[in-house]
């Protein structure tokens, strides 16, 4: 599986370990990916996602997965998240049923 956040697309970055003698060796900066189930009030079910811990903090700050997706621009979201956002918009437009 890819080490990528399902909502924001945060992925592995590359850089260098730099020793005391300034010798640079390659290394990877892995995102802190967690498997979580976020409850969607609009859809009335839990949504299982693999997201970065930083994204989880942002989701909680915004007030849940529904509020996070509604306030985030589509350009900043992964295609799967945009699809989920459309489902939530459709459900909210038809009313709470």
pLDDT tens track for 82-95 = 999 999 999 999 87
Reported pTM: 0.86
Residue 97 has pLDDT above 60, yes or no: no
Query: CA-CA distances (angstroms) from residue 33 to 8, 27, 93?
Result: 11, 18, 32
Phi and psi at 33, nearest 5°, equal -85, 130
Dihedral of the alpha carbons of 34, 28, 57, 67, in degrees to the nearest 10: -80
Does CATH place domain 13-94 in 3.40.50.1980?
no
CA distance 47 to 39: 6
Residue 74 has pLDDT above 80, yes or no: yes
Phi and psi at 64, nearest 5°, equal 120, 170
The full set of domain ranges for the chain reads 13-94
pLDDT tens track for 8-67 = 999 999 999 999 999 999 999 999 999 999 999 999 999 999 999 999 999 999 999 999
Largest Cα span, the chain: 65
Angle (CA) 7-11-16 rounded to 5° is 155
């Amino acid at each position: 599986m890819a080490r990528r956040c399902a909502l924001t697309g945060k992925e592995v970055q590359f850089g260098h370990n730099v020793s005391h003698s300034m010798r640079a060796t390659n290394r990877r900066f892995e995102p802190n990916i967690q498997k979580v189930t976020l409850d969607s009030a609009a859809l009335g079910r839990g949504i299982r996602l693999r997201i970065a811990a930083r994204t989880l903090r942002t989701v909680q700050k915004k007030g849940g997965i529904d509020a996070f997706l509604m306030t985030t621009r589509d350009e900043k979201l992964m295609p799967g998240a945009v699809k989920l956002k459309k489902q939530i918009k459709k459900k909210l437009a038809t009313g709470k049923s």
